[in-house]
Amino acid sequence: MATQARRILGIDPGLQRTGWGVIECEGTKLRHINHGIVVSAAKNALPNRLREIHQGLTAVILEHSPHTIAIEETFVNVNGQSTLKLGQARGVCMLAAAEADVPIAEYSPNKVKKSVVGSGHAAKEQIGLMVSVLLPGCKVQQEDAADALAIAITHAHHFRMPTGAS
């Protein structure tokens, strides 16, 4: 019985730049669909920046119709304000997914690094390199988009649809 391709949207939340990457997974085969970043203007008030992220991701979800969305969990910074702002950006990412009624999976930064590179303490450059290896032909210039693709790849590796599911 042939498996059906599943479209996964990976999201790397950030207040300045939210990375996103779309892949298709069919069995163990991965295929790059698209990637990019949603940028919020630093000069704008926080509520407006959050709206920019929400609108940008909503457009990505509408364009690519993912079956599931994988999002990176918030890590705790030394700077509490930075952690709080990252959590708010992550919240609007989850809201965009929930509004589209798309299931959400969450992964820690270490799990993503370990899944894609083999080490939970991998450098950003290693993630970008492995993304290009795992998704042949994919050329990613922005670290945030590479991280988002890595999150989608992690979900593809850790989540398998039941046989016959659509």
Percentage of residues in the chain with pLDDT exceeding 70? 90
**One-character DSSP codes across 88-115:** HHHHHHHHHHHHTT--EEEE-HHHHHHH
Structure tokens belonging to residue 148: 């988002």
User: What's the pLDDT at 166?
Assistant: 40
User: What's the pLDDT at 76?
Assistant: 63
Q: In whole angstroms, what is the distance from residue 135 CA to residue 90 CA?
A: 25
Q: Which residues are known to be catalytic?
A: 12, 72, 144
The residue count of the chain comes to: 166
- What domains, with CATH codes, occur in the chain? 6-158 (3.30.420.10)
- Beta 6-12 vs 68-72: how paired, if at all? parallel
- Within 8 A by CB and 6+ apart from 165, the residues are 4
pLDDT tens for 65-96 read 999 999 998 766 667 787 888 889 999 999 99
Beta bridge partners of 18: 38
**One-character DSSP codes across the chain:** -PPPPEEEEEEE--SSEEEEEEEEEETTEEEEEEEEEEE--TTS-HHHHHHHHHHHHHHHHHHH--SEEEEEPPPPPSSHHHHHHHHHHHHHHHHHHHHTT--EEEE-HHHHHHHHTS-TT--HHHHHHHHHHHSTT-----HHHHHHHHHHHHHHHH--PPTT--
Verdict on whether the full-model pTM lies above 0.85: yes
User: What's the pLDDT at 114?
Assistant: 87
Q: What is the CA radius of gyration of the chain?
A: 15
- Collect the ranges in the chain with pLDDT lower than 70: 1-3, 75-78, 120, 160-166
Structure tokens belonging to residue 90: 């992550």
